[in-house]
Amino acid sequence: MILPRIFPSSKSFMNTFNTYPFNTGPFNTDRAKMAKVFISTALSFLLLTFLLCWPSPSNAADHRNLRIGMSQFPSTLHPMFDDMVAKSYVLGMSQRPVTAFDANWKPVCMLCTVLPSFDNKLAKKETRANGKHGIAATYTILPKAAWGDGVPVTTKDIIFAWQVGKHPLSGVGNADFFAKDIADITVVDDKTFTIHFSKEECDFASIDGLYPLPDHLERKIFEKDPATYKSRTLYNTDPANPGLYWGPYRIAKVDAGSSITLYRNSAWTGSTPAFDTIVVKAIENSAALSANLVSGDIDYIAGELGLSLDQALAFKKRLPDTYLTVFKPGLTYEHIDLNLDEPLFHDLRVRQALMYAMDRESINKTLFDGRQPVAADFVNPLDTVYDADVPRYAFNPAKAAALLDGAGWKLAPDGTRVNKGGQKLAFTLTTTAGNKNREVIEQAIQSDWKKIGIDVKIENQPPRVMFGDTMRERKFTGGVMYAWMSAPKDIPKTTLHSSMIPSPKNSYAGQNYAGYANPKVDKIIEDLETVCTAPKNQQLWNELQKIYAVELPALPLYYRVDSYFIPKWLTGLAPTGHMHPTTLWVENWGVAE
């Protein structure tokens, strides 16, 4: 069972719910406007070029400690709230899910010993007392798994996590998985538990949204008031508590908004990690992030959350002998969510006009060297369920203008569009502040839309704010530009199902931030979970992608390529190309001799 997230994941994740430098917009404008759009790109490039003239850090540096830079700081360290790439990256070293997908895109155990299947007899179909059919899947926790304070990780921690996830007041993003997909969890012993799934789902064994939570530390806090647990959890109030982590590292120090320091976890019994200490620094300004790498203040920029492709291409030309360069295409979908509750966006013709007005292909060729394909919908061509036969929106400003005319938005003498009531066609666009590339492209989009009479105001926010209350509580009224990272064959339940629209009634659970609701799409998503024969399952995927491309629950932009500049002395790091970060295997990293 694949759980969408923002990384933020639909596990889009909240990328999701992430702050990769993001690029889109027109490049076929007059010179005066071009200068305005490109000025900050040019300055950033000159700064990067200047810095790259400085000598690179010496390989004689002390490699007992590793310093990593990334462009976000997590809004929380609790594994079940506010899905962000930054959080998943840090927790990959310290607090891991029961299962994950590896670099070969295969489901694997992280906390369990073996994935249940019908073949190994650890899974079986069952009929419950209410007459409904489901699956019982049995998992065994790693025998020596223990929290950093020495307390064993047991089935109590799994049961507690399930109870938090399904509680109607907790506000967990993928609440439906815990409250509806899981009918019950029974305990076999301290290390073995059986999940009773409510339906006969196709990919039941993968439970990558289930993290153990330390029952001995967190239960009393949760039971005191589930509705405010998110703000009172020790992951926020005492994040350096060793008992919160069971991975090869534990979080030892948090400088809010700045850095997170991890030490080796003495309770870890797996392979011994190579580094005594890992410091993850959040540097939200992309030019400063590059400068810190060149100056030697950091050793490595997280490929999942660092340099944009255009920056990486320039960087590669300057330091080819210092870093191993990997351009990893992956399941990352860049897009703009519109708040579909706003009357402005109710008319499909308006959303289609926004698509036709953007010259995304020129951006791909100009900034990304043709490496970052324009997106048709939310499914990546690398995924096995991708359907190429969907409607597409080639750059066509004349068609965009005609659609707006037909929707009743007429050009006024001042060049803006107004409706018959005199209301101006205007809204705000928000992305992650400090990310210069994203901000430049945002200006390009603004310029392109202005050409057809749309007045867009840019109001950017720090990533931890945008991916926090702004999106979680749907406080934006216009559009938000970000990316989803997903797993292979990721069913977009949390991002497209109408039950996953965050609201006060569901304690802001779900990741359907646009507020998209279509009963037919709900049914397709539900059928995707249980229709397992390949041809019929693919038919459902094809239908879902066509509906998405036509109705535009979001505005598709690009399928992103992640850029990794790995110091040649750093070994064992394997980019995954999906939502599960390289840090889930940090114990395999090492130092070349």
On whether the 59-96+235-326+562-591 domain is CATH 3.40.190.10, my answer is: yes
Q: In the predicted model, is pLDDT for residue 436 greater than 90? A: no
Q: What angle do CA 310, 351, 432 make, to 5 degrees?
A: 40
pLDDT digits (tens, 9 = 90+) for 212-238: 999 999 999 999 999 999 999 999 999
Q: Which has more pLDDT, 242 or 13?
A: 242
The CATH code for residues 31-38+333-347+368-387+408-561 is 3.10.105.10
Weakest mean pLDDT among 5-19, 38-52, 187-201, 285-299: 5-19
Which pLDDT belongs to residue 278? 98
Distance CA 294, CA 408 (A): 53
Which pLDDT belongs to residue 468? 84
Two tokens, residue 150? 């020495």
Render the burial of 246-262: b for 16+ CB within 10 Å, e for the rest. bbbbbbbebeeeebbbb
H, E, C per residue of 383-448: CCCCCCCCCCCCCCHHHHHHHHHHCCCEECCCCCEECCCCCECEEEEECECCCHHHHHHHHHHHHH
Mean pLDDT of the chain: 88
Res. 62 pLDDT band, cuts 50 70 90: low
Answer whether 77's CB lies under 8 Å from 251's CB: yes
pTM score: 0.81
Smallest Cα–Cα separation from 335: which of 482, 156, 536, 121?
482
Distance CA 192, CA 197 (A): 16
Q: In the predicted model, is pLDDT for residue 267 greater than 70? A: yes
Answer whether 497's CB lies under 8 Å from 38's CB: no
Q: Residue for token digits 């430098």?
A: 21
Within the chain, all domains assigned CATH 3.40.190.10 are found at: 59-96+235-326+562-591
Which pLDDT belongs to residue 510? 87
Two tokens, residue 247? 């991975």
Two tokens, residue 456? 């867009």
Which pLDDT belongs to residue 507? 86
Question: How far is CA 316 from its chain centroid?
Answer: 26
Superfamily of the domain at 100-218: Dipeptide-binding Protein; Domain 1 (3.90.76.10)
Distance CA 227, CA 221 (A): 11
Answer whether 528's CB lies under 8 Å from 491's CB: yes
Within the chain, all domains assigned CATH 3.90.76.10 are found at: 100-218
Distance CA 201, CA 193 (A): 19
The contacts of residue 257 (CB under 8 Å, 6+ apart) are 73, 282, 464
Average pLDDT score over residue span 11-21 = 34
Q: Residue for token digits 């043709």?
A: 370
CA dihedral 528, 174, 127, 111 (to 10 degrees): 110
pLDDT digits (tens, 9 = 90+) for 455-475: 999 999 998 899 888 999 999
The residues with which 410 forms a beta bridge, in sequence order, are 418
Res. 440 pLDDT band, cuts 50 70 90: confident
Answer whether 496's CB lies under 8 Å from 520's CB: no
pLDDT digits (tens, 9 = 90+) for 479-536: 999 988 888 999 999 999 999 999 998 888 889 999 999 999 999 999 999 999 999 9
Smallest Cα–Cα separation from 57: which of 294, 337, 252?
294
Q: In the predicted model, is pLDDT for residue 275 greater than 50? A: yes
Within the chain, all domains assigned CATH 3.10.105.10 are found at: 31-38+333-347+368-387+408-561
